[in-house]
């Protein structure tokens, strides 16, 4: 992939309980920590001249606020809404309303898990969704954002 000619800014949002990665349910999420994911994202971003702002919250309203403030400050959003994927109309509406393209990511394959996890409220308003590749879901999501932004009309 050719490095982007423009410097983009991307907001990365990690949803609830992702701060516990590396400790919680390693059979589902593996042993990767949130810090390791963030380091890998920063490395990839630097290679592609992308500026990242990374945010993690267990609180729905804080996530909604961050999304709401993204217009005019960020070119795209990379979001793992975690459990809010399946429950938060507020986060869905914020993504829809902010007019900033978003890519939804998940460490696990949400479609191979419990039935209630098979529905994403966010996916219909996101540009795309990547799930099931562990830490690489985030990296693939960031690459998708770069490709999306590079191909959008200027």
Query: Does the annotation count 8 as an active-site position?
Result: no
Q: Which two tokens stand for residue 146?
A: 């770069």
CA 37 to CA 14: how far, in whole Å? 10
Which of these is catalytic: 8, 84, 106, 138? 106
Cα separation values, 150 from 13, 50, 93, Å? 21, 12, 26
Which of these is catalytic: 8, 14, 29, 84? 29
Query: Does the annotation count 86 as an active-site position?
Result: no
**Parallel, antiparallel, or unpaired: how do β-strands 8-14 and 50-56 relate?**
parallel
Indicate which residues carry an active-site annotation.
29, 106
């Amino acid at each position: 992939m050719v490095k982007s000619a423009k410097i983009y800014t991307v907001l990365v949002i990690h949803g609830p309980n992702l701060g516990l990665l590396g400790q919680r349910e390693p059979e589902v999420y593996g042993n990767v920590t949130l810090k390791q994911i963030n380091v890998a994202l920063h490395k990839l971003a630097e290679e592609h001249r992308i500026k990242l702002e990374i945010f993690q919250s267990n609180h729905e309203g804080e996530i909604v606020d961050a999304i709401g403030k993204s217009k005019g400050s960020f070119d795209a959003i990379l979001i793992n809404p975690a459990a809010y994927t399946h429950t938060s109309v507020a986060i869905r509406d914020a993504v829809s309303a902010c007019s900033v393209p978003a890519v939804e990511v998940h460490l696990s394959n949400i479609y191979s898990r419990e039935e209630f996890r098979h529905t994403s409220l966010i996916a219909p308003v996101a540009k795309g969704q990547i799930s099931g590749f562990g830490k690489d879901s985030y990296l693939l999501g960031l690459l998708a954002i770069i490709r999306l932004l590079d191909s959008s009309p200027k």
